[in-house]
Amino acid sequence: MTGLIRFERPVVVQLSRRSSERVVFDVNDAAAILLRDLHHATDKRRIAMDTCLQVLRGKTHPPAARRAFVAAALEARILRSD
């Protein structure tokens, strides 16, 4: 199970005050944001990254990655809509 793995419902984040909101539709996009845009190494970020990787490897399902991504985004104060 590789490639684009979509979330049932998108997650909306805003990466900085000056950036526009970004709609995250899939695990790949969530993983990219976690890797490139969240710079603080927290447990929630690590768990979200690990969960996204597990989805991409076919070992778990997208809702688990979505929940972990939402938790990390909330902690990083970038979550706009769940």
CA distances (Å), origin 68, targets 15, 19, 52 = 17, 23, 8
**What mean pLDDT is reported for the chain?**
93
Could you tell me how many residues make up the chain?
82
> Residues 12-50: pLDDT tens digits?
999 988 889 999 999 999 999 999 999 889 999 999 999
> Looking at residue 17, what is its pLDDT?
87
Which pLDDT band, with edges at 50, 70 and 90, does 3 fall under? low
